Amino acid sequence: MPESQALYPKIETFDTGFLKVSDLHTIYYEQSGNPEGKPVIYLHGGPGGGTSAHDRRYFDPAVYRIILLDQRGAGKSTPTASLEDNTTWALVDDIEKLREHLKIDKWVVFGGSWGSTLSLVYAQEHPDRVKALILRGIFMLRQSELRWFYEHGGASNIFPDAWDEYVKPIPEDERGNMINAYHKRLTGSDEEERVRCAKAWSTWECSTSKLYVDPVEVAKASEDIWALAFARIECHYFYNKGFFKTDAHILENIDKIRHIPATIVQGRYDVVCPATSAWDLHKAWPEAQFEFMADAGHSAKELATTARLVKAADEYKTL
């Protein structure tokens, strides 16, 4: 059965808009499903990945008021790929501004990969506004996680062919710190080099996100505008250590959200955000539902993961 059959049918929006959240940034948001329904917000990955119509389909449109937003610099938000005033804490504030703008008291928060990071941090900052959490592909932006995927000796051992393409734009004498090397080029003045590096960075992630490499997913990394936003914003966040004061910020603040109903879904063979991160979160937060998907990698668009995420959203319809 294809992944799409586990989802709810395609739907159109009933509302779209732009919310000015700072002197520089304006974020895009949309609503679909039931205008009088139970609010759920979808937080996309990356950072920098943006949303798509596909992301509406995890939720029962008869029950949920489905809210998507493009984070600063991503998707339809402007200015595109901007790194200025683009931090974890700014995004948390943006989510709150959107909640207030839409006159929502509490909502279910859904996020995968970087979206799981942002969901957890938002919930820790505003626990009284979160009815439940649905989390996938756990990423806590710890240095061990970044080293595993972006530096030699982790994911490079599983995808050596894709790794060779990832390191190509970087001179050999700079490959000891790939995040720094990419940051230098993605924020540099050479536009041709920025685009080339953005595509290489994005292709590395798209090539490794599924248990079986998906050519359609990989092809997305060849789109200049998407790749630039994705790579520049991701690298900016990773270079700045997520703007956290400590490496274990999320784990250190679990007590703030321990009471919130939560479901954690993790692909067993996730190479991008390895299962050890989800397991660490599970051990710190045993009250949350936790499940490994035995035949899945990182992507939410793998059948087992998709079906479990839809089930989690269905379970929280009665809240």
Q: What is the pLDDT of residues 152-210, one digit of tens each?
A: 999 999 999 999 999 999 999 999 999 999 999 999 999 999 999 999 999 999 999 99
Catalytic residue among 55, 70, 94, 270: 270
Is 128 in the active site?
no
Backbone torsion region of residue 104, taken as left when φ is above 0, otherwise alpha when ψ lies between -120 and 50, otherwise beta:
beta
- Give strand pairing partners of 112: 136
Is residue 161 among the annotated active site residues?
no
Per-residue pLDDT tens digits for 132-146? 999 999 999 999 999
- pLDDT value, residue 2: 61
47 preceded by cis ω (within 30°)?
yes
113 noted as active-site residue = yes
Confidence of residue 1 (pLDDT cuts 50, 70, 90): low
Show the domains of the chain with their CATH numbers: 3-142+243-318 (3.40.50.1820), 144-242 (no CATH)
- Expressed in percent and rounded to 5, the helix, strand and coil fractions of the chain are 45, 15, 40
Count CA within 13 A, CB hemisphere, residue 231.
Answer: 35
pLDDT > 70 in the chain, percent: 99
pTM above 0.85, yes or no: yes
Query: What pLDDT shows up at residue 214?
Result: 87
Please tell me the predicted confidence (pLDDT) of residue 164. 98
Q: How much is the pLDDT for 12?
A: 98
The continuous run of DSSP H or E covering 103 comes out as: none
Catalytic residue among 32, 77, 113, 116: 113
Sign of CA dihedral 43, 58, 149, 248: positive
Among candidate residues 183, 249, 282, 298, the one labeled active-site is 298
Q: Is the pLDDT of residue 150 over 70?
A: yes
- Is the separation of the CB atoms in 301 and 137 below 8 Å? no
Residue 316: predicted pLDDT: 98
pLDDT on residue 100: 98
Give the model confidence (pLDDT) of 242-278 as tens digits. 999 999 999 999 999 999 999 999 999 999 999 999 9
Three-state secondary structure call for residue 9? coil
